Amino acid sequence: MIDTENKFKAVVSHAKEYGFVFASSEIYDGLGAVYDYGPNGVELKKNIKAYWWKSMVQLHQNIVGLDAAILMHPKTWKASGHIDAFNDPLIDNKDSKKRYRADVLVEEYAEKRRQKAQKEIDKAKKRYGAAFNEQEFVTTNKRVLRYYQEADTAIQRLTSALESDDLKGVKDLIVELGIKCSVSGSANWTDVKQFNLMFKTQLGADAETAMDLYLRPETAQGIFVNFSNVQNTSRMKIPFGIAQIGKAFRNEIVARQFVFRQREFEQMEMQFFVRPGEELKWFEYWKKERESWHRSLGFKTEDYRFHPHDKLAHYANAATDIEFNFPFGFKELEGIHSRTDFDLSAHERLSGKKLQFFDPETKERYTPYVIETSVGMDRMFLAVFSKALEEEQLDDGKTRTVLKLPAILAPTKIAVFPLVKRDGLPEIAQEIVEDLKWDYQVLYDDKDTVGRRYRRQDAVGTPFCVTVDYESKTEESVTVRYRDSMEQKRIKIAELKTLLHQELDFRNWVERK
Ligand code: GAP
């Protein structure tokens, strides 16, 4: 068993050792919070994206796709509010010189208070056993009440200071709460400053005429500025959605937590355009849809939770996060936002072009409201990868490291081994590979003992291994070994495709869950 403390380290080192994730430009000592995906990583990533795309676009007749450019006209970011408001409040510790996000310091303080309350509840649960009444305990125990109140007050004060742009108030709060730097242990803080997260670049070589551009910090704006192009050409009627997968860039201050918080990352976003006044109904609809999408991957219910926003972004009238239990605790995996008509109206004002919908039935023309679902591809990768990684104690006293990835996302679907490298067995194994490779990512391996080959495939998450032995020559059958149960079954070579179809077909997978 990998304990929680070591889990994150195990995830990072396993990802590197087995070709999933490398630090970017590692030979030059890497680049902070930028990562490259290796041969297994790129397959897993591709499968996550395909699973999202099929679920959102292919299964919904009223959602279409888009692939907008990363570089956009700079007015885009004025309209969207990113130039004026896409800031993080940062604070430095004068002794360690370490930089923090001021809001995150307060949020972590509040989370620690809640954890303390939870510890009291767990202790009482143990003490009183079946007679324990949690509801009563939580509402009457003085210590639990105090911890929750401290957490709530801290968040409320942070929210109101940020909403009124009171940076001094944020610093005062940090000092009052006694928050200390984790490196120096001191509370010797600078003032809080706002820091814009967009990366700047330039279009054109001539200094006089060059235009300042930004690398997009979210893919959403590419969808908004194309609203009319897409609506007119695809003849979509409201309600309808536009989906997009693409890179986004943010100059993050706190660059930690591996691929969780990067400066270059990918988003899978969908903007769903609805009639004004109906947005909260659709907000609830998409909360449920997205929750069930995550659950369809087979992780435990208790690994997810909703976290409604205390502080709404400048464009939203409702927002929630789907949080996932990462190795470092519950953190945001996906955001679901009711963005009102903020973006379309702002682009209309700045561009002078109409971004409206004309309803041919009611003859009404209006600016639609928008529900957004936005999930970080890299965070999905980390969620799936970290939950799947297990160290298992086997009956013979040995341990195995196994990546129990949902089979539909596994980089390699099937590995084919000849038992020995002679007597025609490699040829039969190669024939199977040649036949299956058209539909699945297949791997041939004839090195080492079969046991070792199983271990190698367990470590990269291959759900099925097939061994060709002497019986294969006479009976045209093979052994299939299942990664999770390690169970082995004898089946005919001709039945392999049916088995893989049952286990890996998108429809079978979704309908089974
Ligand atoms: N268009 C809305 C938007 O961009 P967001 O909450 O800032 O909202 C959406 O980002 C999702 O993008 C997050 O839930 C997260 O999964 C992912 N994300 C955001 N910043 C990230 C970063 N620095 N590294 C990796 N993923 C990130």
Report whether residue 221 contacts ligand 1, using a CB cutoff of 6 Å.
no
Report whether residue 261 contacts ligand 1, using a CB cutoff of 6 Å.
yes
Contact 382, 413 (CB under 8 A): no
Report whether residue 246 contacts ligand 1, using a CB cutoff of 6 Å.
no
For residue 263, which atom of ligand 1 is closest to its CA? 23
- Ligand 1 center from residue 255 Cα (angstroms): 14
Report whether residue 379 contacts ligand 1, using a CB cutoff of 6 Å.
yes
Structure tokens at 287: 């909360």
Average of pLDDT values for 495-510? 95
Return the best residue to mutate from 265, 338, 384 for the ligand 1 pocket (most ligand atoms within 8 A of CB). 265
Q: Say which residues have a Cβ less than 8 Å from residue 34's Cβ, sequence separation at least 6.
A: 23, 24, 25, 262, 263, 264
Tens digit of pLDDT for each residue in 20-56?
999 999 999 999 999 999 999 999 999 999 999 999 9
pLDDT at 116: 94
The DSSP code for 123 is: H
pLDDT at 29: 93
Element of type H or E holding 418: strand 414-418
- Ligand 1 center from residue 266 Cα (angstroms): 8
Residue 484 has pLDDT above 70, yes or no: yes
pLDDT at 241: 98
- Ligand 1 center from residue 284 Cα (angstroms): 20
3-state secondary structure of 445: coil
Are β-strands 414-418 and 329-340 bridged in parallel, bridged antiparallel, or unpaired?
Answer: unpaired
The DSSP code for 270 is: E
- Ligand 1 center from residue 198 Cα (angstroms): 13
CA distance 283 to 269: 15
167-176, 205-214, 303-312, 331-340, range with the lowest pLDDT: 205-214
Tens digit of pLDDT for each residue in 179-230?
999 999 999 999 999 999 999 999 988 877 888 899 999 999 999 999 999 9
Average of pLDDT values for 60-75? 97
Residue 395 has pLDDT above 90, yes or no: no
For residue 261, which atom of ligand 1 is closest to its CA? 24
- Domains of the chain, earliest start first: 1-70+210-293+337-394 (3.30.930.10), 412-512 (3.40.50.800)
Tens digit of pLDDT for each residue in 422-461?
999 999 999 999 999 999 999 999 999 999 999 999 999 9
- Ligand 1 center from residue 267 Cα (angstroms): 7
- Ligand 1 center from residue 132 Cα (angstroms): 40
The per-residue pLDDT of the chain, averaged, comes to: 95
pLDDT at 314: 75
Contact 230, 242 (CB under 8 A): yes
- Residue 89 pairs with which residues in a beta bridge? 194
Q: What is the pTM of this model?
A: 0.89
Return the best residue to mutate from 37, 379, 380 for the ligand 1 pocket (most ligand atoms within 8 A of CB). 379
Structure tokens at 64: 């279409």
pLDDT category of residue 495 using cuts at 50, 70 and 90: very high
Report whether residue 332 contacts ligand 1, using a CB cutoff of 6 Å.
yes
Which residue's CA is the closest to the ligand 1 atom numbered 21?
261
pLDDT at 450: 96
∠ CA 458-488-298 to the nearest 5 degrees? 55
- Ligand 1 center from residue 426 Cα (angstroms): 47
For residue 380, which atom of ligand 1 is closest to its CA? 16
pLDDT category of residue 5 using cuts at 50, 70 and 90: low
Report whether residue 269 contacts ligand 1, using a CB cutoff of 6 Å.
yes
pLDDT at 513: 67
pLDDT at 16: 97
Tens digit of pLDDT for each residue in 120-143?
999 999 999 988 999 999 999 999
CA distance 420 to 449: 9
Average of pLDDT values for 331-354? 97
- Ligand 1 center from residue 503 Cα (angstroms): 32
pLDDT at 315: 81
Residue 1 has pLDDT above 70, yes or no: no
Return the best residue to mutate from 374, 375, 380, 381 for the ligand 1 pocket (most ligand atoms within 8 A of CB). 374
Tens digit of pLDDT for each residue in 409-419?
999 999 999 99
CA distance 365 to 446: 66
Residue 262's CB: how many other CB atoms inside 10 A? 22
pLDDT at 313: 80
∠ CA 117-120-123 to the nearest 5 degrees? 150
- Ligand 1 center from residue 375 Cα (angstroms): 7
* Of 304 and 315, more confident: 304
CA distance 442 to 432: 9
pLDDT at 492: 98
Residue with tokens 């495709």: 497
Report whether residue 265 contacts ligand 1, using a CB cutoff of 6 Å.
yes
CA distance 100 to 172: 15
pLDDT category of residue 475 using cuts at 50, 70 and 90: very high
pLDDT category of residue 310 using cuts at 50, 70 and 90: confident
